[in-house]
Each structure stands twice: as structure tokens, then as C-alpha cells.
Amino acid sequence: MNFEFSEEQNMLREQAQGFLASNCSMAVVRRVLDGDEPYDADLWKKVAEMGWTATVIPEEYEGLGLSYLELSVIAEELGRALAPIPFSSSVYLATEAILAAGSEEQKQAYLPGLAAGTSIGCFALGESAGQTSPASLTTKADGSSITGIKIPVADGDVANFAIVVGRSDKGDGASLYIVDLDQDGVSRESITTIDPSRSHAKLTLNAAGAQLLGNDGEGWSHVQSILNRAAVLFAWEQVGGCDTALNMAKEYAMGRFAFGRPIATYQAIKHKLANIYVKNTLARSNCYYGAWAISTDADELPIAAATARVSAIQAYYYASKENVQTHGGMGFTWEFDCQFPYRRSKLLATNIGSEATWQDKLITAIEKQRAA
């Protein structure tokens, strides 16, 4: 049994923690949230220079060719720091889409830029409120041009290109397209979300130039496998954030006195924090499972991904809301940092499909496994 990260991976974690402690404090998150900059460009540049954006990209495309275990470590640390950069869009989604479905030419064209962080990708799936399915898609390509509206698109305002999911008359009813966002047929507007420390946009595609990614009519199946892999990495970000919320709550409870003693001595607070710890721990152990499944390309990936995703969504929501509660009125003020994990937990929970959606996926995956 070896169900732990290796010594090298733990060293990477230490390095990442040290780097983020000095380059991505809560003050940085606050600056992006409060200000006009869509993301911390300086942090992004440094992250890219350290090769984090290149982690799993093969060396032949100028990546580092490391495993998903290394990327898991980085994801957890970025989640812990609530880093205000387009990492998840570019690395967990756009890079994965091109690795999974890209032709040799497309890989050559896009992966080196993604690896270097000079190019930012995003993933454009949703079009309106509610679940997206091939039947609900209205975005559609006509030859090499595509038309439709995508909202919300995480990092759509800062990305260089988007992986756009469009409707198809063939196969599974959907196809993927690469759409360069700096062109006449594309207009994009920034939109306000519950977490302004991560920018989002509305993309309007009006006969925009698009190239098919993968085969026409195989898009939905690609979307599923891309989301499964992204779910594991999102879950690592989420458990990192869970720890941050727990630590905030703990620090405050130890220092805040009421009725002549620290509120951390009251069982009402202790049990709350113990419950946060329990949920975080279950979610983290499920993330280990997810990391194992993604790094070995295991058949169980759909189950492992949904398991990690469901428990990470639940844990982060619980940790972030009870962190606000532990702080009392101060937790509700703009001045305190409790708002950041509370915002981020819901953003990450909705970004690639909700708790209910993934609960259903989990049972479906289990049904499939049993039928096999």
C-alpha cells in the first residue's frame, strides 16, 4: 500500500506553499476583488515561470511531462491561497481539452503557449440558467464559423482562445471548437459574479472563425471526460480552500473572548470546527482516490471524480459558511476575509456542474460499473 504523495511531491508542496505565502496573501485576493484588474497578471507570470502551467503537458509540446499527482499538489495549494488567476480555466479545462481531442497540428499550435502561460485558454459550455445538455445547446457551427452566446465563461474576458461546446446534428449531439477570441466575430463583456476575485465573461460569437476540436458529434463524450478530469483538480482546489476556512475559524475562535473566555472553549464552536475537519478529511481522502484515478487513467475515473467532487463541494460550502458564522458579525463585514472562501466555495461548486448534477453522475457511474 502506497497511498501518499512521494517525497518529491511533498517538496513541491512546500515550495508552492512558500511561494504563495509571499506572493498570494489574502490582501492580493482582496485587491483583485475590489479593483479593476481581472486577475493578478504578475502572479500569473510567476506561476507560469515556475512551470506550473506546463505540469502535465508532454515535453514534446514544451511542457514538463509530470504527472497529475504533481498537478494535484499545485491545485490544492492554489485553492488554499484562493489564487486570483485563470489557472483552472487554462490548465484543468482548455489544456485538458486539447490534450484529449486535439489533432497533432492543434497540439503543436496551442500547447506550447499554454505551457508557457503566454496563452490563456477558457472553456465555454453554459448558455443559460440550468443544466446544459446537447439538447439545450443553441451555439452552432456552420462550416468553420460559429454563432451563439456563452454565459458565464470563467476567464472569458482575459483568455486568448476558448474551447466552445456547440450543437451538432451528428453523434452525441455536440462538438468542440477552438475559437480564438481576438477576432471580429467575437465580442466579450465582463460580468459580475458572486466571486469577483475570479473574472467571468459573456461571449457573443457572431459567425466567428472556429476550428473543430476532435470529431464532429463526439463533443459531448469529450465534455464528460474533460469534466471528470477537471472535477478531480477542482476538488483539490476546494479542499485547499476548506483548510483555509477552517484555519480562519480556528484562529478567530481562539482569540475571541465571550463571557470571560475564548469562544473556542464552547462545545457549540468546538463541534462546529470538528465537523468542518471531518468533512474536509473525508473530501481530502476522496481527492487522493481521484488523484490516483486520473494519474493512472483508471476505469473508475468517473466514480472517483464524482466522489471527490461531491464531497469537496459539500465540505467547502460547510467550512466557508460556518467560518462566517464562527466570526459572528465581524464575519459579515467587507473588512474581514471570511467572504473570500464563502464566495469561492460557491463559485467552484457551480463552475463545472453543481452538487446535484455530480451526485446524479456518481450514481449513474456506479450503475454502469455494476451493469458491466
Partner 1 sequence: MDFNDTAVEATFREEVRTWLSANIPTPDDLKGLDYIGRAKLWQKRKYDAGWACIRWPKEHGGRNASAIDQVIWNQEESKFDTPDSIFGIGHGMCAPTMMAWATDEQNKNYIPKLASGEDVWCQLFSEPAGGSDLAALRTSAEKDGDDWIINGQKIWTSGAHYSDYGVLVLRTDPTAPKHQGLTYFFIDMKSAGIEVKPIRQISGGANFNEVYFTDVRVSDSQRLGAVGQGWQVALTTLMNERASIGGGGGGVNFDSVFDLATRVNIDDAPAIEDKNVRAQLATWYAQESGLKFNGYRSMTALSRGEIPGPENSIGKLVGAPKQQDMASFALDLLESGGAIWDPELSEAAGMFQATYMASPGLRIAGGTDEIMANIIAERVLGLPQDIRVDKGIPFNEVPTSNS
CB of 288 to partner 1, least distance (A): 5
Cβ-based nearer residue to partner 1, 296 or 333: 296
Tell me: does residue 354 bind partner 1 (CB under 8 A): no
Q: What is the DSSP letter of 94?
A: I
The H-assigned helical ranges of 165-300 are: 219-255, 267-296
Interatomic CA distance for residues 229 and 199, integer angstroms: 22
Interatomic CA distance for residues 276 and 319, integer angstroms: 5
Cell 511542457 sits at which residue? 63
CA distances from 102 to 136, 176, 177, 365 (A): 25, 10, 10, 26
**Of 145, 180, 288, 336, which lies in the binding site for partner 1, with binding defined by CB under 8 A?**
288
Tell me: does residue 358 bind partner 1 (CB under 8 A): yes
CA distances from 246 to 49, 83, 224, 268, 364 (A): 31, 17, 32, 15, 32
Beta bridge partners, 141, equal 146
**Of 283, 319, 338, 347, which lies in the binding site for partner 1, with binding defined by CB under 8 A?**
283
Tell me: does residue 5 bind partner 1 (CB under 8 A): yes
Interatomic CA distance for residues 115 and 359, integer angstroms: 33
Tell me: does residue 285 bind partner 1 (CB under 8 A): yes
Tell me: does residue 292 bind partner 1 (CB under 8 A): yes
**Of 274, 299, 332, 333, which lies in the binding site for partner 1, with binding defined by CB under 8 A?**
274
Interatomic CA distance for residues 231 and 238, integer angstroms: 10
Cβ-based nearer residue to partner 1, 38 or 290: 290
Counting residues that bind partner 1 (by CB under 8 A) gives: 50
Cβ-based nearer residue to partner 1, 27 or 268: 268
CB of 303 to partner 1, least distance (A): 8
**Of 215, 225, 275, 325, which lies in the binding site for partner 1, with binding defined by CB under 8 A?**
275
CB of 99 to partner 1, least distance (A): 21
Q: Of the candidates 33, 76, 89, which has an alpha carbon nearest to the alpha carbon of residue 343?
A: 33
Taking a C-beta distance cutoff of 8 angstroms, is the pair 201, 153 a contact?
Answer: yes
Cβ-based nearer residue to partner 1, 147 or 275: 275
Interatomic CA distance for residues 19 and 236, integer angstroms: 18
Tell me: does residue 295 bind partner 1 (CB under 8 A): yes
Tell me: does residue 258 bind partner 1 (CB under 8 A): no
Tell me: does residue 306 bind partner 1 (CB under 8 A): yes
**Of 250, 325, 336, 350, which lies in the binding site for partner 1, with binding defined by CB under 8 A?**
250
Tell me: does residue 233 bind partner 1 (CB under 8 A): no
Interatomic CA distance for residues 72 and 88, integer angstroms: 12
Tell me: does residue 215 bind partner 1 (CB under 8 A): no
DSSP string, 301-340: HHHHHHHHHHHHHHHHHHHHHHHHHHHGGGGGSTTSTTHH
CB of 287 to partner 1, least distance (A): 9
**Of 130, 261, 297, 334, which lies in the binding site for partner 1, with binding defined by CB under 8 A?**
261
The grid coordinates listed for 253 are 475562535
CB of 65 to partner 1, least distance (A): 18
* Residues binding partner 1 (CB under 8 A): 1-5, 69, 246, 250, 253-254, 261-262, 264-267, 269-271, 273-275, 277-278, 281-286, 288-289, 291-292, 295-296, 306-307, 310-311, 314, 355-356, 358-360, 362-363, 366-367
